[in-house]
Amino acid sequence: MEATRKLEGRHVLVTGAGSGIGAAIATALAAAGARVTLAGRRAEPLQALAEQIGTSQVQAAHGFDVTRADAIAGGLQAARAAFGPIDILVNNAGEAPSAPFEKTSLEMWSRVMAVDLTGVFQVTQAVLPDLKLRGEGARIINIASTAGLTGYAYVSAYTAAKHGVIGLTRSLALELAQKGITVNAVCPGFTDTPLIAQAIETIMAKTGRSREDALKEFTRSNPQGRLIKPEEVADAVLWLALPAAGSINGQAIAIAGGEVLAG
């Protein structure tokens, strides 16, 4: 996609930006000319990514815990001081622990909801005054999951949270349409990230299966028989962020090789 400099002058905040999908999104938006704030809890991966991107138009905001209002407020204050009001928000931070439903503790359930759903609520509410200031062309892009469009066993908390993110996306799209702000969700299938790599290692350790067999647990649901690349998710986010996507609103877009055919 040719999007060189089309986001020049726009300030983008990406939560959970330190690795995987978040890092790919931040890299793509920076390449399109945006000023990008990399938000996350840990300083090291954020700083490493900022150095890798290698431009003064990228800054790291560590200690950005989406479950804590004070951490969000502090991170936004620093982001605005450096790059001004935020024009595009990408809610990417998330967790996906696995357990059978009957072994899912209230603590696990509450943690996943706090990060994956309430975190989106808190960050969006905190950034909304900036987005209203921008008006036409402002964007909220939520990274949900195909788990928000269908069901997966052993991740009931994650699936419920991502369904909630898609519902929130649709409600906000209607509320904010007259403000010129679009709200959409991108729903990746299983994606080639450090989280999946760790899950494959866990399967191998617990079952003695080969890496190839363990990988099939994640590729069998994709009709293309592969993992999604983080860059493919980033391309979808970039498209939604561009001025040309101004009429795309309230959508949940599956990036999954055909696994989910209707949202």
Query: How far is it, in rounded angstroms, from Cα 231 to Cα 88?
Result: 19
Q: What is the pLDDT of residue 192?
A: 84
Q: What is the per-residue pLDDT for 48?
A: 96
Please confirm, yes or no, whether 154 is among the known catalytic residues. Answer: no
Give the gyration radius of the chain's Cα atoms.
18
Q: What is the pLDDT of residues 159-190, one digit of tens each?
A: 999 999 999 999 999 999 999 999 999 999 88
pLDDT at 70 (0 to 100): 97
Counting Cα atoms < 13 Å in the Cβ hemisphere of 113 gives 11
Query: May I ask the CATH architecture of the domain 11-191+229-255?
Result: 3-Layer(aba) Sandwich (3.40)
Which pLDDT score, from 0 to 100, does residue 1 have?
A: 45
Could you say which of 158, 190, 218, 239 is catalytic? Answer: 158
Q: pTM of the prediction?
A: 0.93
- In this structure, which amino acid lies at residue 89? L
Residues of the chain with pLDDT under 50: 1-2
Count Cα atoms within 13 angstroms, Cβ side, for 154: 5
The bridge status of strand 182-188 relative to strand 252-255 is parallel
